[in-house]
Amino acid sequence: MNNPKVGDLVVCETRSAVWSYHLRVIGGEGFKPGGGYINALCGRAMGWDTRIPLATYGKKGNTSSTWCEACLNEAKTKGLIP
């Protein structure tokens, strides 16, 4: 994945100690792999952006991973993913 730019949909992660993934559209703040104050599509505050490919969103890899259904539904509603 190249450096994501404004308008790109990316997978982001919460600040909690579990792998809790969400989706967000990059705004003027830019891509935040090192952390920052960003919000997911569902409105939840996130810890940082990841380079996880969108195609893997929702797939079980790590058994303790969770994937936000609200973010997925919002992305579909906005036409960001099929």
Query: How far is C-alpha 1 from the chain's CA centre?
Result: 14
CB-based contacts of 23: which residues, under 8 Å, 6+ apart? 9, 10, 11, 12, 40, 41, 54, 57, 68, 71, 72, 74, 75, 80
- The reported pTM is 0.87
**Residue 50 identity (one-letter amino acid):** T
CA nearest 70: which of 25, 23, 10, 15? 23
- Interval 48-66: pLDDT, tens: 999 999 998 888 776 678 8
H/E run at residue 81? none
> Residue 1: pLDDT above 70?
no
Domain residue ranges of the chain, discontinuous segments joined by +: 9-77
